Amino acid sequence: MTHSTPNVRLKLCLGLLLAVTGLAMTTQASLAADKPKEQQISRVIAKEMTAAQKALQASQWQEALKNLDAAEQKSGLTPFDKKTIFDFKGFANVRLNKLKEAEQNYEQAIATGQYTPEEAAKTTRMLFRLSAGNQQYSKALDYGKQVADAGGANADDLAVMSQIYFLQKDCKNSASWADKAITAARKAGETPKENLYQFKLQCASDAADNAAMSAVLIDLIRLTNKTNYWNTLLRIERQEERDDHNLLMIYRIMYDTNSMNAGSDYMEMAQLLGDAALPGEAAAVIEKGMSAGLFTEQKDKDRATRLANTLKPRAETDKKGQAQFDAEAAKNPAGELDVKTGEVYYGSGDYQNAVTAINRGIPKNQIKHLDEAYVYLGRSYVQLKNTADAKKAFTGLKTVPNINPRVLKLWELYSEKLGS
């Protein structure tokens, strides 16, 4: 059996979570007459600035810029005059979506040194987002670090830092800032953004680090429970497994999470189930793959048909003998026959009798594969839409001596996401 590492494909938003208009955009400057003299505009530009402010209030952005250009041409401007002009211009240009011009305006305004510390912090954060959106990444990183060091960065700001580093192929720093963003989001009672984990996943994939990929995929499944992440995780875990018993346990999770998307998956799972004396379930698996049209080449269709035709008579024989087998299992002092009866019931779709038989067998002990007993008990409860008892059954896996750690980890994750 050969398995290849999946190639992760990420659809990254190159807009860098910009959302500049969501930054509580207001002008920092004011023309109020009650300010100290050094914080008031000069009389020489009072007319133009008053007109510009009125235009801004009326959302007449071009008219505001016209008046601000006129004010800028006046001679004898104070640093406070220049700061106010550039601040107003930056606001208007953002509203016009002229982000490069806005970035230049705010840089000119902050260079005057006339902002209060609070205003300077807000403007630095604005410049961080603007330079990021304008793909001036080196500058954006400098501004972002200033914002973070000052304690003014929220989860979105930290996420932008992570994405910039990712775009620059700096996986170490991308992961570090992603972790900061995730922590900040959780602290704020927010759900972390999916793409933060995707950055880490792509970096791990590029480095062919399967262990790191698995860890991130588990986080992504906990976050989203998406089948594509289940598919990728289980393929990675599957290729590391050489024991057929454990391999089949992984296939069961693939099947139950609807994350099997290749005909070869259904073929191999059905063969393993057939070898495990579970022809009813094996027949259902191969028929599902055939119904989904996953066998596209004629040779594969023929092979699947031959396998199905071999499994169906065996499944019918098992079904006809269920009642007798059940009665014999109930009388047997060992639990092995009860569990096998339950597995056969599961394969024929009789989930309630599967639950009854397995619950009868587990307390008897003397079960060859106790891990399978708990798995089929949990799966039967899932089919009966009894999530609470399904989770309880899967919890029993922790008591199984020498259970494969990979199998335990994956079924615990599956149980964790039940009902979500």
pLDDT greater than 70 at residue 391: yes
**Per-residue pLDDT for 4 more than 90?**
no
Q: Which residue has the higher pLDDT, 26 or 45?
A: 45
In this predicted structure, the answer to whether residue 131 has a pLDDT above a threshold of 50 is yes
- Is the pLDDT assigned to residue 248 strictly greater than 80? yes
35, pLDDT greater than 50: yes
pLDDT of residue 29: 53
pLDDT one-digit tens code per residue, 199-208: 999 999 999 9
Mean pLDDT across the chain: 91
pTM of the model: 0.84
Q: Each residue of 344-359: pLDDT tens digit?
A: 999 999 999 999 999 9
Q: What does the H/E/C string look like for the chain?
A: CCCCCCCCCCCCCCCCCCCHHHCCCCCCCCCCCCCCHHHCCCHHHHHHHHHHHHHHHCCCHHHHHHHHHHHHCCCCCCHHHHHHHHHHHHHHHHHCCCHHHHHHHHHHHHHCCCCCHHHHHHHHHHHHHHHHHCCCHHHHHHHHHHHHHCCCCCHHHHHHHHHHHHHCCCHHHHHHHHHHHHHHHHHCCCCCCHHHHHHHHHHHHHCCCHHHHHHHHHHHHHHHCCHHHHHHHHHHHHHCCCCHHHHHHHHHHHHHCCCCCCHHHHHHHHHHHHHCCCHHHHHHHHHHHHHCCCCCCHHHHHHHHHHHHHHHHHHHHHHHCHHHHHHHHHHCCCCHHHHHHHHHHHHCCCHHHHHHHHHHHHHHCCCCCHHHHHHHHHHHHHHCCCHHHHHHHHHHHHHCCCCCHHHHHHHHHHHHHCCC
Mean pLDDT of 189-205: 96
Instruction: Judge whether residue 269 has pLDDT over 80.
Output: yes
| 214 has pLDDT over 60 | yes
| pLDDT average, residue stretch 22-46 | 64
Asked whether residue 18 carries a pLDDT value surpassing 50, the answer given is no
With bands split at pLDDT 50, 70 and 90, how would you rate the model's confidence at 3? very low
Model confidence at 19, pLDDT cuts 50, 70, 90, reads very low
* 54-111 confidence digits (pLDDT tens): 999 999 999 999 999 999 999 999 999 999 999 999 999 999 999 999 999 999 999 9
pLDDT of 28 reads 56
Mean pLDDT of the 372-386 span: 98
